[in-house]
């Protein structure tokens, strides 16, 4: 009789486990899976709407925003490549940057302005004295000044950690 009771208990437990498993599947797992499918479908729909709105914005740009952006680009390009060479203004700025960097400007020799690549160009030769870090700071300041500058050559000698030499560079403009 004990074996029948154990068997009956096992069958009841197995049926109870099957009922609990089926009810979990039907009442919890399946609704969650359906909700997840609905959320995924909604996400895909929203992604399509966002892509459609972005495509519309690309096809129909805001004229005021485009004009403002174009004006900002023009100001930037005008600063990088001014209308005239204005070597004097550039040299005044370079002298200020040299003093700020700790570089001594011993002299500046400008060459005759000419053209290069369809633009006005002028080669400037700076005679300088300073340590490595001051010289690097000065060169960086010249390049970051907001005007297109091409550093052509740096020549000289170093004695006791101090550089004595020349820096040759080009400045450009749209016209002489």
DSSP code of 175?
B
Q: Are strands 162-173 and 149-159 parallel, antiparallel or unpaired?
A: antiparallel
Distance separating alpha carbons of residues 107 and 44, to the nearest angstrom? 67
pLDDT score, position 176: 60
Q: The domain at 82-173 falls in which architecture?
A: 2-Layer Sandwich (3.30)
pLDDT score, position 1: 65
Q: Look up residue 52 and give its two tokens.
A: 């459609």
pLDDT along the chain (176 residues), means of 10: 82 88 81 83 87 87 86 85 88 93 94 88 96 93 84 93 94 82
What residues does each domain of the chain span? 1-60, 82-173
Residues in the chain, total = 176
């Amino acid at each position: 009789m004990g074996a029948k009771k154990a068997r009956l208990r096992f069958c009841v437990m197995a049926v109870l486990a099957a009922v609990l498993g089926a009810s979990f599947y039907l009442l919890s797992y399946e609704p969650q899976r359906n909700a997840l499918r609905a959320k995924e479908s909604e996400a895909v729909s929203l992604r399509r709407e966002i892509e459609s709105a972005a495509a519309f914005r690309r096809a129909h740009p805001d004229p005021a925003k485009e004009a403002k952006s174009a004006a900002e680009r023009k100001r930037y390009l005008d600063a990088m490549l001014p209308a005239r060479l204005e070597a004097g203004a550039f040299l005044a700025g370079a002298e200020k940057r040299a003093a700020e960097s700790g570089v001594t400007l011993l002299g500046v020799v400008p060459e005759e302005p000419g053209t290069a690549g369809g633009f006005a160009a002028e080669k400037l030769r700076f005679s300088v004295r300073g340590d490595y870090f001051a010289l690097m700071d000065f060169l960086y300041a010249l390049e970051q000044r907001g005007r297109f500058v091409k550093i052509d050559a740096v020549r000289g000698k170093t004695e006791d950690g101090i550089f004595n030499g020349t820096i040759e560079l080009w400045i450009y403009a749209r016209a002489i």
